[in-house]
Amino acid sequence: MPDARTTPWLFMTPSIVLLLAVVGYPVLLGFKLSLYDWQLATIGQERYVGLANYIELIDNERLWGSIEFTLFYALAAVCIEIVLGTALALLLNQPIRGMRFFNTLLLAPIALSPVAVGVTWKFFLNADYGTMTFLLQEFGIADYQTWLVQKSAAPWVLIGIDAWWSLPFVTVILLAGLKSLPPEPFEAAQIDGARSWQSFFYITLPLLRPVYLVVLVIRVMDALRVHELVFVLTQGGPGRSTSSLSFLIWQTGFKLREMGNATAIGMAFLVFIVLLTAVLTKLLDRQISEVRN
Amino acid sequence: MSAARFKKMLALALAYLVIVAFCVVEMLPIYWVVITSFKTNLEIFGGHPLMPPFSKATLDNYAYVFKETGTSGVAVASYLKNSLIVTTCTIAITMVVGTLAAYGLARFRMRGRSLMAMLFLVVRMVPAMAVGIPVYHMVRSLELLNTHFALILVYSAFLTPFVIWMMRGFLMDIPAELEDSARIDGCNRLQAFWHVTVPMAAPGLMATATFTFLGAWNEYIFASLLTSTPDAQTTTVLIAGQISFDQVYWGRIAAIATVLIVPAVVFIRFMQRYLIQGLTMGAVKE
């Protein structure tokens, strides 16, 4: 009979084995492969090059461009989603008839595959036959076709699609947070003559901090890894203006066939994400235990 | 009418206006894909893009999906079959493996508990593409490229942390006393878990399984790296590939996209009650 100290570990053994084999081992393998010069065609005859792949990254302009785009994309998309999501959640936090119906409608985008989102918008934005062209013509705007081929506009198109896709997610969660707030502090504030913007900034926001943090962590992490939208809609272009880090790894490895380089980028990306997660979860863990108690 | 009441009415009217506009914007592209899948090319390129096809509606695009052969000489339906096989097996594995671990984390106070929870969380955050190449290398060395098994294994591993976190939340809500009394009656730990806790956690299990379904059904990156033949390629890979060279057949691609979207939307609809918990891995409750 296992004792109380080993029992929980017995329950966790299958997960730990699965994760060590399918996540842990490839991570170690990745660090090893990033020290070699290798290609798909020459698997089995990798050449050891030490840190050369990492040193090359420093001068790799494509990489710095991708880092810039990825950070910009995540930051812009998440800011837009949180600001608009807050506004929408506040508006919807009223006794609205038919809320269940609206809620059901808003679930649809949450369930979509990123590939389905990309394909849908690719057609929707098509300059010749797309619905967007059609809609804009109705409003008398005819020069739409330049969006996806303009260096300055293409990133914003992707950010807009990300916002379209994730706004329901953010709104639904913030709304759930708002609904769970106790009414007493608001009543007290009203009696004391606080204006509504004052109760928002001094009561709602501080109380919702944990919820915001959860939304922020999930959204930032998912936005930083964007690949499918880029792959389907822009292939990193025009120029390299929308080449996300995930897309760059794919392109470097499977298109340019520089597997060693691509693995090095992947490992650097992984380390960055793990550090970011460690910092954010420290915050998050505290917040979650606060929510739970 | 008092000024305060007027203000309240105005706010409510504004809320209705905004939510209707919001829903229209969110639904429009999805609506467009679905109606386009029922149109002929003539209607798609000649007619109003937002008008349903009415009497000119056609099922040709769906016939292409389910009967005729696609670009690679293989019926689109076989990609759907691959998606279905991989998704079903992934759900089965992750639910068993993940729920057991969640139970270990939820019921016992041991050393390293929060560290384990955090390690599992880190795996959830790992971008697929960052580890995509070594995973590809490993699967290739094992000669498992283009197999369902490889996808099932990889999906299971990457979705298990999600199941652990979500189920941990559900299991912590079930009082441990119930199990204790079952154990006094002669059950062992595993029996108590299986006969007492699992039935009580049934709604949570269903919700978690739905989100696992979405994760596997919608996955693209690993599928695109680990499969290159129709033997195991999934629907997401098919669509992403088709859009680059098969641009003429909007109706067909819209039909495949609809087939991909509909089960996902239907599934999540059933899970509305646990949506918030699922979306936040149990961190926020409704």
pLDDT, mean of residues B14-43? 86
Do residues A254 and A264 touch, judged by C-beta distance below 8 A? no
pLDDT at B184: 83
Between vectors from CA A12 to CA A9 and to CA A17, what angle results, nearest 5°?
110
Q: How far away is chain B from the Cα of A211, in angstroms, using its nearest Cα?
A: 7
Between vectors from CA B16 to CA A107 and to CA A213, what angle results, nearest 5°?
50
Q: Where are the domains of chain B?
A: 3-63, 76-279
pLDDT, mean of residues A4-25? 89
pLDDT, mean of residues A26-54? 85
Assign 3-class secondary structure to A120-138.
HHHHHCCCCCCHHHHHHHH
Put simply, the answer to whether B264 touches A25 (Cβ < 8 Å) is no
Do residues A249 and A265 touch, judged by C-beta distance below 8 A? yes
Q: How far away is chain A from the Cα of B122, in angstroms, using its nearest Cα?
A: 6
Please state the length of chain B.
286
Between vectors from CA A243 to CA A241 and to CA A245, what angle results, nearest 5°?
140
Put simply, the answer to whether B131 touches A10 (Cβ < 8 Å) is no
Question: pLDDT per residue over B1-15, tens digit each?
Answer: 578 888 888 888 888
B109 pLDDT above the threshold of 70: yes
Cα torsion A191, A192, A195, A199: sign: negative
pLDDT at B148: 94
Identify the DSSP state of A183.
S
Cα–Cα dist B272/A257, whole Å: 45
Confidence of residue A292 (pLDDT cuts 50, 70, 90): very low
Residue with the bigger pLDDT between A125 and B69: it is A125
Write the CA distances from B20 to A91, A209, B15, B16, integer angstroms: 12, 28, 8, 6
pLDDT at B158: 94
pLDDT at A170: 92
B193 pLDDT above the threshold of 70: yes
Contacting residues for A201 by C-beta, under 8 A, at least 6 apart: none
Q: Which residue has the tokens 């953010």?
A: A170
Residues 107-166 of B with CB under 8 A from A: 107-108, 110, 113-114, 116, 118, 120-123, 125-135, 137-138, 140, 153-154, 156-158, 160-161, 164
List the single residue in A18, A104, A249 with the smallest CB-CB distance to B130: A249
Confidence of residue A3 (pLDDT cuts 50, 70, 90): low
pLDDT at B281: 67
For residue B151, the tally of other CB atoms under 10 A from its CB is 28
Query: What class, spelled out in words, does domain A48-292 have in CATH?
Result: mainly alpha
pLDDT, mean of residues A279-293? 63
Identify all chain A residues contacting B126, using CB atoms and an 8 Å cutoff: 23, 270, 273-274
Put simply, the answer to whether A8 touches B110 (Cβ < 8 Å) is yes
Cα–Cα dist A155/B125, whole Å: 23
User: In chain B, which residue's Cα lies nearest the Cα of A287?
Assistant: B283
Question: pLDDT per residue over A210-254, tens digit each?
Answer: 888 888 888 999 999 999 999 988 888 788 888 999 999 999 998
Confidence of residue A293 (pLDDT cuts 50, 70, 90): very low
Question: pLDDT per residue over A75-130, tens digit each?
Answer: 999 999 999 999 988 888 877 777 778 877 888 888 889 998 998 888 888 767 77
Q: Where are the domains of chain A?
A: 48-292
pLDDT at B60: 78
List the single residue in A22, A130, A273 with the smallest CB-CB distance to B125: A273
Put simply, the answer to whether B135 touches A116 (Cβ < 8 Å) is no
Q: How far away is chain A from the Cα of B194, in angstroms, using its nearest Cα?
A: 13
Contact status of B251 with chain A (Cβ, < 8 Å): no
What dihedral do alpha carbons A164, A168, A170, A172 form, nearest 10°?
A: 170
Contacting residues for A287 by C-beta, under 8 A, at least 6 apart: A209, A210, A213, A214
Identify all chain B residues contacting A15, using CB atoms and an 8 Å cutoff: 97-98, 100-101, 120, 160, 164
User: In chain A, which residue's Cα lies nearest the Cα of B237?
Assistant: A115
Cα–Cα dist A136/A145, whole Å: 10
Q: Which residue has the tokens 């950070």?
A: A71
Confidence of residue B282 (pLDDT cuts 50, 70, 90): low
Question: pLDDT per residue over A141-190, tens digit each?
Answer: 666 666 777 788 889 999 999 999 999 989 988 988 888 888 888 888 88
pLDDT, mean of residues B253-278? 80
* Of A233, A223, A202, A237, the residue nearest A273 (C-alpha): A223
Identify any residues that bridge with B69 across adjacent strands, giving them in sequence order.
B75
- The ipTM of this complex is 0.88
Identify all chain B residues contacting A116, using CB atoms and an 8 Å cutoff: 33, 218, 236, 239, 257, 260-261
pLDDT at A236: 82
Element (H, E) at A71: helix A61-92
Cα–Cα dist B173/B278, whole Å: 15
pLDDT, mean of residues B71-79? 70
Mutation for A interface: B133, B219, B224, B244, most A CBs within 10 A: B133
Percentages helix, strand, coil for chain A (3-state, rounded to 5) are 75, 0, 25
DSSP state letters, chain B = --HHHHHHHHHHHHHHHHHHHHHHHHHHHHHHHHHHTT--HHHHHHS-TTS--GGG---HHHHHHHTSB-TTSSBHHHHHHHHHHHHHHHHHHHHHHHHHHHHHHHH---TTHHHHHHHHHHHHHS-HHHHHHHHHHHHHHTT-TT-HHHHHHHHHHHHHHHHHHHHHHHHHTS-HHHHHHHHHTT--HHHHIIIIIHHHTHHHHHHHHHHHHHHHHT--HHHHHH--STTT--HHHHHHHHHHH-TT-HHHHHHHHHHHHHHHHHHHHHTGGGHHHHHTTTSS--
Cα–Cα dist A34/A46, whole Å: 10
Do residues B103 and B169 touch, judged by C-beta distance below 8 A? no
Put simply, the answer to whether A92 touches B44 (Cβ < 8 Å) is no
Whole-number average pLDDT of chain A: 85
Q: How far away is chain A from the Cα of B73, in angstroms, using its nearest Cα?
A: 22
User: In chain B, which residue's Cα lies nearest the Cα of A118?
Assistant: B240
Contact status of B106 with chain A (Cβ, < 8 Å): no
Put simply, the answer to whether A134 touches B16 (Cβ < 8 Å) is no
Put simply, the answer to whether B30 touches A120 (Cβ < 8 Å) is yes
pLDDT, mean of residues B102-131? 87
List the single residue in B16, B116, B284 with the smallest CB-CB distance to A173: B284
For residue A42, the tally of other CB atoms under 10 A from its CB is 12
Residues 73-92 of B with CB under 8 A from A: none
pLDDT at A14: 93
Question: pLDDT per residue over B137-178, tens digit each?
Answer: 999 989 999 999 999 999 999 999 999 988 988 888 888 888
pLDDT at A2: 57
| Torsions phi, psi for A77 (to 5 deg) | -60, -45
Element (H, E) at A47: strand A47-48
Confidence of residue B124 (pLDDT cuts 50, 70, 90): confident
Burial class (CB in 10 A: 0-12, 13-18, 19+), A47: exposed
Query: What class, spelled out in words, does domain B76-279 have in CATH?
Result: mainly alpha
User: In chain B, which residue's Cα lies nearest the Cα of A42?
Assistant: B137
Cα–Cα dist A265/A246, whole Å: 9
Confidence of residue B246 (pLDDT cuts 50, 70, 90): low
Put simply, the answer to whether A111 touches B261 (Cβ < 8 Å) is yes
